Amino acid sequence: MRRGRTGPRAPHAKAIGVVGGASAVLEAAGVSAGAPGVVIDDAGPALAALQELLAGHRVWERSPA
């Protein structure tokens, strides 16, 4: 079952991983650092957390209904 909008303006709802000081990129993109599916950490822990999230394919909690 698909959730949310579809088409070119639909949110992708993918997991996002940010390493180190790159969290400014999230702000520039309008993504909250505390949003579901957003990982900010050092490289090793961020990769491990991101791999778990990517196994779920999408983070629907961040997608508008």
Higher pLDDT, 16 or 3: 16
Domain contains 4 = no
Q: Domain containing 37: what range? A: 16-62
- Structural domain tally of the chain? 1
List Cβ neighbours of 53 (8 Å cut-off, separation of 6 or more): 15, 37, 39, 59
Is 27 inside any structural domain? Answer: yes
Asked if the structure places residue 50 within a domain, the reply is yes
For 3-8, which contacts have Cβ atoms below 8 Å and span 24 or more sequence positions?
A: 3/60, 3/63, 3/65, 4/60, 4/63, 4/64, 4/65, 5/64
Neighbours of 22 (CB within 10 A): 10
Position 27 scores a pLDDT of: 87
3 part of a folded domain: no
Count the Cβ atoms, other than its own, within 10 Å of residue 47: 14
Tens of pLDDT, residues 21-61: 888 888 888 888 889 999 999 999 999 999 999 998 888 88
Which pTM value belongs to this model?
Answer: 0.72
